[in-house]
């Protein structure tokens, strides 16, 4: 979730790393800082708040340096203030360190160091790590060797970047679970926690693997494992368009990414659809699918909601028992895992700490694992047995939109693939392929509801509480739609299957309450109509989301939005999220909320 940047070369290093950090603002942060090698020695400047606070200090200082590192912090240990911001010094002020992740044994180490006379300036676990590195460095060894030795004493998930005036032409970095990317240039080299920070400077990058230490100079990059053995890095060229990480004329990244969804669907389907069958490369051999007796989908947040769609699909289409787990709960509940089960990990970033912990438990128990991720080379993508990429491109807004649609779509393709392999009776794979082939156009048509969603947002702007209801797959989408409204507009919501209203939640209905009712599933509309009557009788208002062929729900709703019917129940339900994303966006806009970086939230949650 925090941002890391590093530069060594002939440019103004401080300006380069601050530009990199600005390109990582989408991760969410509460403070920033920079360390650089200056003619006067090793210097650190840092401030709580947004990057502009730090830029003002830098402008006064006017530093000249060819080596610098920078950090944007999302608080985990200690309040978001100047002292707790990164970088941190060691006891002697010899090294400056930035850190993503958590040091799990930092208290034990801190107590030991305090008894030895060390004084700490912050409340962070990161400063403890800096002191450990400094102690090793004080033995007269090289900086890279000091970092290698130090990380052997630390437990947890971390990515470190370290500089020192004693060896002014070096930056050293180390990774254990928290992502680090190396950028290769001519007479200059770069470090970042995510690829978009590097794209203005280089497209030649390498992902630093777990338990590796890298030495970065202006002339090259070398790496070794934690045991000291040298390893070869595997650079590759990034093919993203830089403009894909910019707003492209939209007011916010969230709105841009909602409008990107027709193209995202095309990218997701690219190379996977034939006329009568589909091809998902890199999956298990066909015989494996006959052996699997249960699916466990493990995810967090929006990805968890995508997993619920997968459960409904797999059980309805494939008659395959499927459970969905919150990643944060999975390994603490001693899950029952069949040797013939498949664990599916859904994650946009591929770096979600809770999901990675659950993945490693499954690997310990020798359970087959499959990843559905967006980021190539991410930790989940590399650690699972097989991976399916969503191919959604970079998502900048903290509130996920296009990643959710892509995840649900990949789960649909996976379901069709399994049905195709197992020759499931009653499943018409060709019909599914036809429906999904026309899906980009259906998403584009759903986007034409934007003005209607603007008007609905204005109409219901002052609703004290918003219910999100549905049945079947619509109930799954209701959870994701509610999360969007909470995330970006800070509106309290109540979400549940519509049939559960009378078992308690109905008590919350009062004059002015809004209920958003998903009604794309034709077989439950008559029941939903009864639920709507119950709401309206108690002063509630209803925004109905249904398909254009529905003649029932429009007649009983206060406001209605009609999406095209795709011919597939799963795709219809998924399509309904598009106008609901727009509704949440405009509710947030009219309420004056900070849409792309909602309060208290971060994009990629790399700590547990």
Question: Does the annotation mark 247 as catalytic?
Answer: no
CA 275 to chain centre: 33
Catalytic pick from 46, 311, 562, 603? 603
What whole-number distance in Å separates Cα of residue 364 and Cα of residue 407? 26
Question: Does the annotation mark 268 as catalytic?
Answer: no
Indicate the SS3 state at residue 474: helix
CA 450 to chain centre: 25
What whole-number distance in Å separates Cα of residue 345 and Cα of residue 245? 25
Provide the token pair at 66. 């060819």
Number of C-beta neighbours around residue 511 at 10 A: 9
CA 215 to chain centre: 28
Inter-residue contact 341 to 442 (CB < 8 Å): no
Q: What are phi and psi of 453, to 5 degrees?
A: -70, -35
Catalytic pick from 2, 173, 268, 408? 2
What whole-number distance in Å separates Cα of residue 399 and Cα of residue 484? 7
What whole-number distance in Å separates Cα of residue 577 and Cα of residue 31? 34
The C-alpha R_g of the chain, in whole angstroms, comes to 26
Provide the token pair at 112. 């030991």
- Residue 3: enclosing H or E segment and its boundaries? strand 3-8
Burial of 551 (0-12, 13-18, 19+ CB in 10 A): exposed
CA atoms 466, 469, 475, 477: torsion sign? negative
- Residue corresponding to tokens 């999901």: 355
Cis peptide before 87 (omega within 30 of 0): yes
**First CA to last CA across the chain, in angstroms?**
11
- Residue corresponding to tokens 């978009």: 196
Q: What stretches of 165-274 adopt beta strand conformation (E)? A: 171-176, 181-184, 189-192, 204-207, 212-217, 220-225, 230-231, 236-237
Strands 189-192 and 181-184: antiparallel
Inter-residue contact 101 to 158 (CB < 8 Å): yes
Between helix 106-115 and helix 125-137 the angle, nearest 10°, is 60
User: What is the 8-class DSSP label of residue 299?
Assistant: E
Inter-residue contact 26 to 244 (CB < 8 Å): no
Burial of 59 (0-12, 13-18, 19+ CB in 10 A): exposed
Angle at the Cα of 359 from the Cα atoms of 353 and 362, rounded to 5 degrees: 150
- Residue corresponding to tokens 């507009």: 489
Provide the token pair at 107. 């208290």
**Residue 140 CA neighbour count, 13 Å, CB half:** 0
- Residue 34: enclosing H or E segment and its boundaries? strand 31-38
Give the neighbor-by-neighbor strand order of the sheet with 294-299: 322-326, 294-299, 341-347, 368-373, 386-389
Between helix 577-590 and helix 402-422 the angle, nearest 10°, is 170
Active-site positions read 2, 603
């Amino acid at each position: 979730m925090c941002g890391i940047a590093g530069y060594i070369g002939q440019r103004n290093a401080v300006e380069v790393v601050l530009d990199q950090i600005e390109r990582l603002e989408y991760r969410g942060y509460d403070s920033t800082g920079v360390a650089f090698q200056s003619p006067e020695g090793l210097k650190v400047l840092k401030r709580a708040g947004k990057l502009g606070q730090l830029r003002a200090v830098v402008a006064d200082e006017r530093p000249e340096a060819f080596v610098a590192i920078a950090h944007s912090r999302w608080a985990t240990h200690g309040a978001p203030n100047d002292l707790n911001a990164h970088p941190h010094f060691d006891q002697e002020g010899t090294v400056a360190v930035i850190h993503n992740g958590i040091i799990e044994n930092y208290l034990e180490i801190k107590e030991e160091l305090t008894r030895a006379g060390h004084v700490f300036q912050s409340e962070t676990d990161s400063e403890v790590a800096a002191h450990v590195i400094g102690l090793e460095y004080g033995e007269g060894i090289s900086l890279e060797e000091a970092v290698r030795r130090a990380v052997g004493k630390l437990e947890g998930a971390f990515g470190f970047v370290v500089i020192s005036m004693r060896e002014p032409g070096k930056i050293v970095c180390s990774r254990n679970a928290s992502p680090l990317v190396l950028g290769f240039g001519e007479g200059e080299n770069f470090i970042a926690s995510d690829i978009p920070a590097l794209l203005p400077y280089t497209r030649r990058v390498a992902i630093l693997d777990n338990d590796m230490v890298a030495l970065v100079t202006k002339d090259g990059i070398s790496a070794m494992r934690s045991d000291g053995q040298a390893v070869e890095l595997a650079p590759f060229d990034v093919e993203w368009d830089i403009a894909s990480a910019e707003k492209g004329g939209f007011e916010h990244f969230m709105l841009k990414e909602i409008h990107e969804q027709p193209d995202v669907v095309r990218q997701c389907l690219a190379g996977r659809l034939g006329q009568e069958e589909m091809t998902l490369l890199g999956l298990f051999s066909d015989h494996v699918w006959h052996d699997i007796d249960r699916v466990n989908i493990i995810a967090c947040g929006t990805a968890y909601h995508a997993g619920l769609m997968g459960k409904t699909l797999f059980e309805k289409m494939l008659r395959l028992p499927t459970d969905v787990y919150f990643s944060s709960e999975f390994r603490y509940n001693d899950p029952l895992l069949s040797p013939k089960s498949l664990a599916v990990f859904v994650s946009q970033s591929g770096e979600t700490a809770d999901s990675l912990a659950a993945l490693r438990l499954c690997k310990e128990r020798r359970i087959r694992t499959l990843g559905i991720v967006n980021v190539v080379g991410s930790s989940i993508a590399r650690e699972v047995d097989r991976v399916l990429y969503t191919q959604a491109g970079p998502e900048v807004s903290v509130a996920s939109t296009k990643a959710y649609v892509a995840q649900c779509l990949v789960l649909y393709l996976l379901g069709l693939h399994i049905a195709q392999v197992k020759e499931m009776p009653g499943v018409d794979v060709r019909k599914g392929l036809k429906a999904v082939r026309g899906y980009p156009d259906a998403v584009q048509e759903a986007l034409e509801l934007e003005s209607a969603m603007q008007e609905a947002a204005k109409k219901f702007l002052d609703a004290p509480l918003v219910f999100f209801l549905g049945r079947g797959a619509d109930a799954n989408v209701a959870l994701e739609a509610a999360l969007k409204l909470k995330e970006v507009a800070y509106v309290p919501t109540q979400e549940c299957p519509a049939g559960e209203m009378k078992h308690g939640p109905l008590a919350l209905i009062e004059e002015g309450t809004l209920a958003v009712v998903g009604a794309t599933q034709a077989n439950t509309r008559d029941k939903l109509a009864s639920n709507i009557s119950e709401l309206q009788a108690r002063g509630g208002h209803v925004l109905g989301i249904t398909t254009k062929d529905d003649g029932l729900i429009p007649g009983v709703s206060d406001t209605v939005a009609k999406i095209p019917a795709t011919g597939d129940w799963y795709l219809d339900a998924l399509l309904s999220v598009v106008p609901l994303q727009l509704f949440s966006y405009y509710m947030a806009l009219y309420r004056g909320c900070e849409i792309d970086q909602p309060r208290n939230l971060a994009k990629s949650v790399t700590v547990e």
